[in-house]
Amino acid sequence: MRVVEIVSYGEPDVLHVVERPIPGPKPFEVLIAVEAAGISRADVLQRRGSYPPPAGDSDVPGLEVAGTVAAVGESVTEWSPGDRVCALVNGGGYAEYAVAADVAVLPIPQTWTAVEAATLPENTFTVFDNVFTRARLEPGETLLVHGGTSGIGTIAIQLARAFGARVIATAGNARKCDACLGLGAQFAIDYRTQDFVAEVMRITAGRGANVVLDMVGGDYIDRDLAALALDGRIACIGAQRGATASIHLGKLLARRAVVSGSSMRPRSQNEKGAVAAAVRARVWPLLAARDSIRPVVDSTWPLEDAPAAHRRMESGEHLGKIVLTTNS
């Protein structure tokens, strides 16, 4: 099978298509004939050498796939060859075949294509777990989403609106702000020309946001605190502006705030299975209508163009998810 291999750490051109044997599923695994694989920021970090796969998992990048079940392990009971599925994987997504734990597999929603379904696993797992389970966003509360036009951001906006919250999004230019509004955000802040703290406080009449979804890190965390409501929660899922943050404890104490952080990839299969079950119960019923939640695909690229797809990701110009396809 063809896979995209990281031949050395560095710039996008280190991604090369090579041939490897098709993996066989272990007892609780599913082998998927991959039609599409989502590209995430984690893949970029792995390519640069700063986010290695967990021990024992594939060194091939790619954390989410969609396609058809090709084979199942001997202990798998829910899935059968021929099923149309998408899945969160620990690695190996940039390939014609990938294995996934059976508990991290979900059916492709009715009316969604494989390319569209490949945008779902990592985004929905991450957003649902961090925003709704950990940060406990409730109907009527205000969510501040940084990076509103990223893959994570587009799902966060739509899920929060679908569950009755008000959304404020930040983005890097007017075009992206308009896209956030089109996805359902009530307000969009251009962080390059506006102070998001001042804007959030203005929009909320001084109350602040109840929950902040932050994939930026660094100095943003302290600014998030300044934009936070009393008893507010910050869910940190990335560190694009740096892994070290200085927090003003006076703000933290005064707002009775909670700052949490999480990463999906290193978790046990049981933990991922619990997230998958919650997502399937609460999110999947909303998807077939393509109404409150719809796919946002920026562009598709064949496996051979993985370097160009990564350059697109790093340019920051994309709106939504960038997807690789196995069609030659």
The b-or-e profile of 171-193 (16+ CB within 10 A means b, else e) is bbeeebbebbbebbbebbbbbee
What percent of the chain is predicted at pLDDT more than 90?
A: 94
Q: How far apart are the first and last CA of the chain?
A: 12
Can you give the pLDDT at residue 241?
85
- Average pLDDT score, the chain: 96
Q: Which residue spans within the chain are E strands per DSSP? A: 2-6, 15-19, 29-39, 64-72, 84-88, 97-101, 105-107, 142-145, 166-171, 187-190, 209-214, 228-236, 258-261, 297-302, 321-325
Q: Domains along the chain?
A: 2-120+265-325 (3.90.180.10), 123-261 (3.40.50.720)
Q: What pLDDT digit, counting tens, does each position of 62-108 carry? A: 999 999 999 999 999 999 999 999 999 999 999 999 999 999 999 99
Can you give the pLDDT at residue 327?
85
What is the average per-residue pLDDT within 296-321? 97
What is the average per-residue pLDDT within 112-140? 98
Nearest CA among 126, 132, 25 for reference residue 80: 25
What is the average per-residue pLDDT within 113-140? 98
73: phi > 0 → left, psi -120 to 50 → alpha, else beta; which?
beta
CA angle (246, 247, 249) in 5-degree steps: 140
Judged against a pLDDT cut of 90, whether residue 328 lies above it is answered with no
Judged against a pLDDT cut of 80, whether residue 264 lies above it is answered with yes
Nearest CA among 30, 184, 36, 43 for reference residue 117: 36
Can you give the pLDDT at residue 199?
98
Q: What pLDDT digit, counting tens, does each position of 198-250 carry? A: 999 999 999 999 999 999 999 999 999 999 999 999 999 998 888 888 889 99
Six token digits for residue 174: 């007017």
Q: What pLDDT digit, counting tens, does each position of 154-194 carry? A: 999 999 999 999 999 999 999 999 999 999 999 999 999 99
Can you give the pLDDT at residue 243?
84
What percent of the chain is predicted at pLDDT more than 70?
A: 100
